[in-house]
Structure 1
Amino acid sequence: MARLAVAEENTGVDLSDTESTVTVLAGLAIVVGIAGVIVPILPGLLLCWAGVLAWAMFGGGGWGKWVVLAVATLLAIAGTLVKYLWPGRQLKRAGVPNTTLLAGGVLGIAGFFLIPLVGLVAGFVLGVWLAERARLGEGQAWPSTKHALKAVGLSMLIELFAALGIAGAWLIGLAAA
């Protein structure tokens, strides 16, 4: 109980109040979700949306929280669709097959466990390069790998914008409540 009093005194938030606790936990889920987009270990967009869902269901406020949840849901769905469709179209135009991305994904997962923090990215790049080298030869492997890396970067950027949009909608809803 003493810890709650200290936390309440330092932040001005009454953590014994369920609505305040839900709001703080929702905010933490959104922050962790944004971090999960940047460091692709956690399902970032899903965590951001789940934070808003929990806030809408268990937090205080009126009908506006449901509008915020609807906006967050639309942003999450649109972000997920665009994150796969737009970079995928660019890869098809560049002639990079899905099997190359699969090879990158498999080596990325292996790299994640072998080399903490950077192994996912290093494994993905190595997997794509090896698959393209086997398919096209050494001279054309790197340009094709760069196309795949640009597509992955674009995908992450799209997801980040969607996650930040969800966070912004939540903050607006929080301020309006």
Structure 2
Amino acid sequence: MEFTELLRYSFYAIILSVMLFGLLGLIIPILPGLVIIWVAALVFGIVEGFSSAGWVFFAAMTVLMLVGSVIDNFIMGASARQKGAPWTTILVALVLGIVGSVLLPPFGGVIAALLGLFGLEYYRQRDWRKALDTTTGMAVGCGGAVLIRAGMGVIMIILWLIWALRF
């Protein structure tokens, strides 16, 4: 094996390792796993050059990254909404989640959002069972969002593998 070929395969292994780290990061709320996977693909494209097909793969990965980066908030909110929480309460809970992610990584965001939702729903309804039901709905939505984002991450890595190994 030539040195340049060895160097190329080492580069591919590094890119794949970063992508797998990003995939693992999807279960830790503070790490932007899809963005990490996307940046690794961007670095690959810059170093290797973007062919016409490369741009198509990268564009598809970009769409998945953008959609996946915001979809979890919609899924969590929709799950809480189905249980009766008003949108204003959901928005406040999501803001608390962002603050919690910054102040208490890695799980502070999820904890802050769920506790905030519970507190707001308890204050609004004066019934802890209803507040807990709404909070459980958001927690289930959070779990579903993790699965969806993980699936998107796997698809992004598969797209990169096809791009890297074929072109």
Q: CA RMSD in A?
A: 3.4
Q: Which residue of 1 aligns with 2:163?
A: 173
- Give the 3 Å change call, closer, same or farther, for CA 119–170 of structure 1 in structure 2: same
Alignment of 1:23-172 (within 5 A): 23-59=12-48, 62-80=51-69, 82-105=71-94, 108=97, 117-137=106-126, 138-172=128-162
Aligned pair count? 166
- Give the 3 Å change call, closer, same or farther, for CA 134–13 of structure 1 in structure 2: farther
SS in structure 2 at match of 1:38: coil
Question: Which moves more between the two structures, 138-147 or 51-60?
Answer: 51-60
| Deviation at residue 111 of structure 1 after TM alignment | 5.6
Q: Compare relative contact order (CA 8 Å, sep 6+) and give the higher one, 1 or 2.
A: 2
| Deviation at residue 135 of structure 1 after TM alignment | 1.3
% same residue = 27
Query: Which stretches in structure 2 are left out of the alignment for 5+ residues?
Result: none
CA distance in structure 2 between the aligned counterparts of 1:44 and 1:74, rounded to whole angstroms: 14
| Deviation at residue 20 of structure 1 after TM alignment | 4.5
CA distance in structure 1 between the aligned counterparts of 2:108 and 2:78, rounded to whole angstroms: 27
Question: Which moves more between the two structures, 95-104 or 137-146?
Answer: 95-104
Preserved contact between residue 112 and residue 118 of structure 1 (Cα < 8 Å): yes
SS in structure 1 at match of 2:116: helix
Task: Please give the TM-score of this superposition, normalised by the length of structure 1.
Answer: 0.71
1:131-166: CA deviation from partner (whole Å, max 9, x where unpaired): 211111223111111111122222222211111110
User: Match of 1:176, as an amino acid?
Assistant: R
SS in structure 2 at match of 1:134: helix
Question: Which moves more between the two structures, 86-95 or 158-167?
Answer: 86-95
Preserved contact between residue 91 and residue 147 of structure 1 (Cα < 8 Å): yes
Query: Which stretches in structure 1 are left out of the alignment for 5+ residues?
Result: 1-11
User: Match of 1:136, as an amino acid?
Assistant: Q
CA distance in structure 2 between the aligned counterparts of 1:111 and 1:78, rounded to whole angstroms: 23
CA distance in structure 2 between the aligned counterparts of 1:147 and 1:171, rounded to whole angstroms: 36
Task: Please give the TM-score of this superposition, normalised by the length of structure 2.
Answer: 0.75
